[in-house]
């Protein structure tokens, strides 16, 4: 695999505010690369620079060897963007939205008609072909955004929180479609706050926080390195901590107190499970470690606004 | 300035969405001139008698025609563009395609011009029905050229205002304090001859005044060399307004 996107010391400033603070990364052709992070971490700013709608303040950023700049029509021509906000043309129908968009890419009319019919089928909006946008549910609108992003048959797709605000059915349908695209060889860049989404779709992820990349790796290695295999959550009052930590000291687990809960992060949960049964504590949860644990550990558990 | 033929694509997008508004805008474009021409032309015309040997309506039509084109283009590039930019976020999806910010803004100005031409054409039809004709067929073509230039000028000026507007209310300053008063200082409803000298000079620098002069000449068939300067003035102003309008809009769209 060769790298399709290269960023070196990429920086984005809005006035005095630094949104992206000198990050470096490489994205390989055909992989799904995820940007994870809380609100305001700099994910959207980063991908806006990748698809050339926001100028790079400092550092270098190339897509397929071409430097990113807002006037780079070549990059835009082969990139599909699924935006975070629903930016459909509300004056037009589902079909017209796609037809009008095909113009912007200079797709010949006849070719566009075929593609539009295919895409409407792909996102399962056949019954809504001639409906106006305000007659669609949020899930349908998001699907139409995906279809719109595919009109130019892009080799790079950028999805900015594509399932925000959707019900589970709609979310799973979108995940399936994105995986389908990836299997066709498309490179996918995803930003998300949903850890399950990242685990479902991404080959590699970076965790961003305050404009910086904190960690990079596959979801599995990040979980292994940062958390381990198992997590034990014990809801217990704080004055019991010392005793409990003492009695579990032999299992080489990391621990963390958050609010009403004491967390243990363990390499091997087998023995600790036995010990927990022995201790017979109420309100204990023992579960496999997830990406969410990594995320919370790296970006802190306090509310970010 | 990163302009390309894609301006046309943006124009077509507007045309496709226009289908749904054709009827109300046609009615508005017809009723407005009727209102002006009947109330001022016939009502006031009865009091002011003959103007240069012809009824007042003949004085009124050329001016109202140009102001209709200018106002329609203005409104389209104020309210129409603002809705597309802020409420519908249309520009956000446009600039993610090979359409540049400049293409998008110029496409909207072109659309404003087209809307202005529709208003102008309807008004001309009404005027002709009332017996007011331009002197010849070539004169009609000249009139259309003039209307296109007026449309681009007012569309571009409106873009400057839109690029700075924090909300809808901001447009009131421009429409109430600039556009409406301008009608009275540009020789649309009455000649400027009786204005004091400083007001005459002031009105010469308003963008509508030269357009009204040209339009009036085309209707009456009385041409003078001063019209060349009027035309050049419009062109120069237009190039400046277009450049600033597009640049400011780009600054607002790209962050």
Q: CB A89 to CB B13 under 8 A?
A: yes
Q: Are residues A235 and A278 in the same domain?
A: yes
Q: Which residues of A touch B (CB under 8 A)?
A: 14, 51, 53-55, 70-71, 73, 76-77, 79, 81, 83, 85, 87-92, 96, 99-101, 103-106, 148, 152
Q: Which residues does chain B have within 8 Å of residue A51's beta carbon, measured at their own beta carbons?
A: 96
Domain of residue A18 covers 3-223
Q: How far apart are CA A180 and CA B48, in angstroms?
A: 76
Distance from CA of A93 to the nearest CA of B (A): 9
- Enter the tokens of residue A274: 């036995």
Q: Are residues A31 and A138 in the same domain?
A: yes
Q: CB B88 to CB A89 under 8 A?
A: yes
Q: How far apart are CA A3 and CA A33, in angstroms?
A: 12
Q: Which residues does chain A have within 8 Å of residue B99's beta carbon, measured at their own beta carbons?
A: 104
ipTM attached to this prediction? 0.86
Three-state SS for chain B is CCCCCCHHHHHHHHHHHHHHHHHHHHHHHHHHHHHHHHHHHHHHHHHHCEECCEEHHHHHHHHHHHHHHHHHHHHHHHHHHHHHHHHCCHHHHHCCCCCCHHHHHHHHHHHHHHHHHHHHHHHHHHHHHCCCCCCCHHHHHHHHHHHHHHHHHHHHHHHHHHHHCCCCCHHHHHHHHHHHHHHHHCCCCCCCCCCCHHHHHHHHCCCHHHHHHHHHHHHHCCCCCHHHHHHHHHHHHHHHHHHHHHHHHHHHHCC
Q: Which residues of B touch A (CB under 8 A)?
A: 2, 6, 9, 12-13, 16-17, 20, 88-90, 92-101, 254-255
Q: Are residues A236 and A108 in the same domain?
A: no
Q: Kindly identify which residue of chain A lies nearest to residue B103, measuring between CA atoms.
A: A104
Q: Are residues A175 and A243 in the same domain?
A: no
Position A305 scores a pLDDT of 47
Binned at pLDDT 50, 70 and 90, residue A189 comes out as very high
Which of B134, B141, B120, B128 is CA-nearest to residue B65? B120
Q: Which residues does chain B have within 8 Å of residue A93's beta carbon, measured at their own beta carbons?
A: none
The pLDDT of residue B130 is above 90: no
Q: Are residues A168 and A181 in the same domain?
A: yes
Q: Which residues does chain B have within 8 Å of residue A90's beta carbon, measured at their own beta carbons?
A: 88
| Residue B197: partners with Cβ closer than 8 Å, 6 or more residues away | none
β-pair type (A254-258, A261-266): antiparallel
| Rounded (10°) CA dihedral A284, A286, A289, A290 | -70
Which has the minimum average pLDDT: A157-166, A255-264, B84-93?
A255-264
Binned at pLDDT 50, 70 and 90, residue A301 comes out as low
Residue from the list B88, B100, B254 with its beta carbon closest to the beta carbon of A54 = B254
Q: What is the DSSP letter of A162?
A: T
Q: Are residues A191 and A43 in the same domain?
A: yes
Distance from CA of B167 to the nearest CA of A (A): 19
Q: Are residues A146 and A278 in the same domain?
A: no
The pLDDT of residue B29 is above 90: no
The larger pLDDT score, comparing residue B244 to residue B132, is at B244
CB atoms near residue B218 (< 10 Å): 24
To which residue do tokens 């004056």 refer? Answer: A91
- A66 domain residue, yes or no: yes
Position A303 scores a pLDDT of 55
User: Which of A200, A223, A246 lies at the terminal end of a domain, its last residue?
Assistant: A223
Q: Are residues A98 and A197 in the same domain?
A: yes
Q: How far apart are CA B11 and CA B106, in angstroms?
A: 9
| Angle of helix A94-104 versus helix A138-149 axis, rounded to 10 | 30
Q: How far apart are CA A148 and CA A98, in angstroms?
A: 6
User: Which of A167, A201, A223 lies at the terminal end of a domain, its last residue?
Assistant: A223
Three-state SS for B89-145 is CHHHHHCCCCCCHHHHHHHHHHHHHHHHHHHHHHHHHHHHHCCCCCCCHHHHHHHHH
The larger pLDDT score, comparing residue A49 to residue B192, is at A49
Distance from CA of B105 to the nearest CA of A (A): 14
The larger pLDDT score, comparing residue A60 to residue B41, is at A60
Q: CB A73 to CB B98 under 8 A?
A: yes
Q: Are residues A58 and A178 in the same domain?
A: yes
Q: Which residues does chain B have within 8 Å of residue A87's beta carbon, measured at their own beta carbons?
A: 88-90, 92-93
Alpha helices in chain A (DSSP H): 43-50, 73-77, 94-104, 109-122, 138-149, 168-183, 195-201, 219-226, 241-247, 270-279, 291-299
Using CB atoms within 10 Å of the CB of residue A51, give its burial: 0 to 12 exposed, 13 to 18 middle, 19+ buried: buried
- A298 domain residue, yes or no: no
Mean pLDDT over each residue of chain A, to the nearest integer: 89
Q: Are residues A156 and A269 in the same domain?
A: no
Are B152 and B242 in contact by the 8 Å Cβ rule? The answer is yes
Per-residue pLDDT tens digits for A17-48? 999 999 999 999 999 999 998 888 999 999 99
Q: How far apart are CA A11 and CA A57, in angstroms?
A: 6
Q: CB A104 to CB B97 under 8 A?
A: yes
To which residue do tokens 């073509």 refer? Answer: B141
Binned at pLDDT 50, 70 and 90, residue B187 comes out as confident
Average pLDDT over residues B110-124: 93
Share of chain B above pLDDT 90, in %: 57
Q: Which residues does chain A have within 8 Å of residue B9's beta carbon, measured at their own beta carbons?
A: 103-104
Distance from CA of B101 to the nearest CA of A (A): 9
Q: Are residues A98 and A232 in the same domain?
A: no
DSSP A66-114: EEP-TT-HHHHHTEEEE-SS----TTSBHHHHHHHHHHHTT--HHHHHH
Position B165 scores a pLDDT of 94
Residue from the list A54, A91, A101 with its beta carbon closest to the beta carbon of B17 = A91
Distance from CA of B199 to the nearest CA of A (A): 44
Per-residue pLDDT tens digits for B189-228? 888 888 888 888 888 889 999 999 999 998 888 888 888 9
Average pLDDT over residues B38-64: 81
Each domain of chain B, given as residue ranges in start order, spans 7-253
Q: Kindly identify which residue of chain A lies nearest to residue B94, measuring between CA atoms.
A: A104
- Enter the tokens of residue B21: 């508004």
Q: Which residues does chain A have within 8 Å of residue B88's beta carbon, measured at their own beta carbons?
A: 87, 89-91
CATH number of the domain at A44, please.
Answer: 3.40.50.300
Are B4 and B100 in contact by the 8 Å Cβ rule? The answer is yes
Are A269 and A229 in contact by the 8 Å Cβ rule? The answer is yes
DSSP A107-154: --HHHHHHHHHHHHHHTT-GGGTT-BGGGS-HHHHHHHHHHHHTTT--
Q: What is the DSSP letter of A164?
A: T
Q: Which residues does chain A have within 8 Å of residue B90's beta carbon, measured at their own beta carbons?
A: 87, 89
The pLDDT of residue B39 is above 70: yes
Q: Kindly identify which residue of chain B lies nearest to residue A72, measuring between CA atoms.
A: B98
Q: Are residues A86 and A21 in the same domain?
A: yes
Which of A138, A146, A100 is CA-nearest to residue A119? A146
Q: Which residues does chain A have within 8 Å of residue B16's beta carbon, measured at their own beta carbons?
A: 92, 96, 99-100
Residue from the list A55, A92, A148 with its beta carbon closest to the beta carbon of B254 = A55
Residue from the list A70, A77, A103 with its beta carbon closest to the beta carbon of B254 = A70
CATH number of the domain at A256, please.
Answer: 3.30.70.860
Residue from the list A70, A73, A92 with its beta carbon closest to the beta carbon of B17 = A92
- A293 domain residue, yes or no: no
- A296 domain residue, yes or no: no
Per-residue pLDDT tens digits for A65-121? 999 998 899 999 999 999 988 999 998 999 999 999 999 999 999 999 999 999 999
Domains of chain A: total: 2
């Amino acid at each position: 695999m060769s790298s399709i996107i290269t960023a070196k010391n990429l920086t984005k400033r809005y006035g005095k505010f630094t949104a992206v603070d000198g990050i470096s990364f490489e994205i390989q052709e055909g992989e799904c690369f995820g940007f994870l992070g809380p609100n305001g971490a700099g994910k959207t700013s980063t991908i806006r620079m990748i698809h050339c709608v926001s100028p790079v303040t400092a550092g270098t950023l190339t897509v397929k060897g071409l430097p990113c700049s807002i006037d780079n029509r070549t990059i835009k021509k082969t990139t599909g963007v699924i935006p975070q906000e629903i930016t459909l043309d509300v004056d037009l129908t589902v079909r017209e939205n796609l037809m009008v968009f095909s113009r912007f890419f200079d797709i010949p009319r006849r070719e566009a008609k075929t593609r539009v019919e295919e895409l409407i089928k792909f996102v399962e909006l056949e019954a809504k072909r001639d409906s106006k946008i305000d007659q669609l549910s949020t899930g349908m609108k998001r699907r139409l955004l995906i279809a719109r992003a595919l009109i130019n048959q892009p080799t790079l797709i950028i999805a900015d929180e594509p399932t925000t605000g959707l019900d589970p059915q709609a979310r799973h349908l979108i995940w399936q479609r994105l995986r389908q695209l990836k299997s066709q060889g498309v490179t996918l860049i995803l930003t998300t706050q949903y850890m399950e989404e990242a685990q479902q779709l991404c080959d590699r992820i970076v965790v961003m926080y305050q404009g910086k990349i904190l960690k990079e790796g596959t979801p599995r290695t990040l979980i292994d390195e940062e958390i381990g295999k198992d997590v034990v959550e014990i809801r217990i009052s704080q004055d019991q901590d010392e005793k409990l930590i003492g009695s579990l000291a032999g299992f080489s687990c990391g621990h963390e107190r958050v609010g009403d809960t004491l967390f243990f992060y363990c390499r091997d949960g087998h023995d600790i499970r036995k010990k927990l049964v022995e201790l017979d504590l109420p309100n204990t949860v023992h579960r496999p470690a997830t990406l969410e644990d990594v995320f919370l550990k790296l970006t802190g558990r306090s509310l970010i606004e | 300035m990163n302009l390309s033929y894609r301006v046309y694509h943006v124009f077509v997008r507007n045309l496709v969405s226009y289908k749904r508004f054709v009827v109300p805008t046609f009615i508005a474009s017809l009723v407005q001139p009727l209102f002006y021409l009947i109330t001022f032309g016939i009502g006031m015309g009865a009091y002011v008698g003959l103007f240069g040997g012809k009824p007042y309506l003949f004085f009124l039509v050329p001016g109202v025609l140009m102001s209709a084109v200018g106002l329609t283009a203005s409104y389209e590039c104020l309210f129409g563009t603002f809705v597309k930019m802020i409420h519908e976020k249309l520009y956000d999806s446009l600039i993610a395609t090979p359409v540049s910010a400049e293409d998008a803004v110029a496409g909207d100005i072109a659309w404003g011009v087209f809307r202005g031409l529709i208003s102008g054409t309807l008004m001309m039809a009404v005027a002709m029905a009332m017996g007011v004709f331009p002197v010849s067929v070539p004169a009609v073509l000249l009139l259309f050229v003039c209307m296109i230039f007026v449309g681009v000028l007012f569309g571009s000026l409106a873009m400057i205002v839109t690029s700075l507007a924090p909300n809808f209310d901001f447009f009131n300053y421009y429409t109430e304090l600039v556009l409406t008063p301008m009608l009275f200082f540009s020789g649309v409803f009455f000649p400027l001859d009786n204005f004091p000298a400083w007001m005459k000079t002031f009105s010469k620098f308003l963008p509508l005044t030269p357009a009204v002069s040209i339009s009036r000449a085309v209707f009456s068939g009385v041409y003078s060399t001063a019209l060349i300067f009027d035309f050049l003035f419009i062109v120069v102003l237009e190039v400046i307004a277009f450049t600033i309008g597009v640049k400011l809009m780009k600054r607002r769209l790209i962050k």
